[in-house]
Amino acid sequence: MYLGFYMFFTIATIQISIIYAQTDTAACNSCCTAGVPGIPGHHGNPGASGPQGMNGVKGEQGTKGEHGMKGDNGRNGLDGIPGKLGPTGPQGLTGSQGANGVKGEKGEQASQQKSAFSVAFTSNPGRHAVSPMKYDTIITNVRNDYNLDTGKFVCTIPGVYVFQVTSMKSNGGGNILTRIMKNGSVQVSTRMDADDGYNSASTMVVLDLVSGDQVWTQPYSTTYNYYTSDSDRYCSFSGFLLYAA
C-alpha cells in the first residue's frame, strides 16, 4: 500500500513539474531566448517487482523421442530369506501302478537241520520177542540217529518228528500187534488178527522230542508176534524230523 502511494506521488510531482516547465517555456519564448540544457540527472532506483502474470496457454505435446540403446543386464541380487512353510495341501490321487522291478538275486537258503531214517526186515523175523525190533537192513539213515544194534532211534535234534510202522503177519494163522514206543511208553499200535492169508497193518504218529529221547517198535506179547517178511521188505519202520524246535 505504501509503495503504491509513493509511486502515485512521484508521478503527480513529475506531471506538475512538466506543466510548470511548459508554462515557463511559453512565457520565456515570449520574452527570452532558450537557455543551455541542463546536465541529465542520475538514474532512479529500480522499481519494485510487479505482480505475477497469468498462466500462459499450454503448449502442444512434443513428438515422442526414439528408444535409447538397451542397457547391460544388472547383476543377480542376493537370495532372499526363505519364506514360512505353507499349509499342507490335500492328498493327491493315487498314481498308476509302476512297472515290475528287476528280479533280485536268489538269497542263501537258511541252514536246515536234518534227521531221517527207514529200516526193514529182508528176512523172515518169525515170532519176535517182546523187545525192540532190530531190523536187519538200513534203507536211509540221515545223521545216523537210528542204531541198528539196539533197534532204537535216538533224538539228537529237538523238534517234531513223524514215525510210521508197517507189519505183515504170516500165512495160515497167527496174530500181530505192533507198538511204537517212546522212552518205554506206548504211543500208538497197529493190529491184525489170525486168518488164512497174508495181511499187513500200519500206523503213524507225530511226536515232540527232546535231545536223548528214544523211539522204537516192539510186539504187544508173545502171542501177537507172528511176523513174516522177505526181500520185498513187508515189515518196515521209518521216521523223520518235521521241523526243529
Give the mean pLDDT per block of 10 residues along the chain (245 residues): 51 52 47 65 76 78 75 79 82 82 71 94 93 97 97 98 96 90 98 85 97 98 93 97 96
What is the residue range of 178's domain? 119-244
Predicted confidence at residue 55, as pLDDT, reads: 80
Specify the pairing of strand 146-147 against strand 214-219.
unpaired
Predicted confidence at residue 4, as pLDDT, reads: 54
Q: Is the dihedral of CA 189, 187, 242, 234 positive or negative?
A: negative
Q: Which of 224, 153, 150 is nearest to 190 (CA)?
A: 224
Q: Which of 204, 186, 187 is nearest to 242 (CA)?
A: 204
- pTM, two decimals, is 0.56
Domain contains 60 = no
Predicted confidence at residue 90, as pLDDT, reads: 87
Domain contains 80 = no
C-alpha angle with apex 159: 153 to 161, nearest 5 degrees? 50
Predicted confidence at residue 20, as pLDDT, reads: 47
Domain contains 154 = yes
φ/ψ (deg, to 5) at 48: -70, 155
Name the domain count of the chain: 1
Domain contains 68 = no
Domain contains 164 = yes
Predicted confidence at residue 57, as pLDDT, reads: 82
Residues contacting 6, CB < 8 A, separation 6+: none
Domain contains 46 = no
Lookup: cell for 137 = 537192513
Predicted confidence at residue 177, as pLDDT, reads: 96
Predicted confidence at residue 220, as pLDDT, reads: 96
User: Where residue 226 sits, what CATH number does that domain have?
Assistant: 2.60.120.40
Domain contains 145 = yes
Predicted confidence at residue 8, as pLDDT, reads: 54
Domain contains 206 = yes
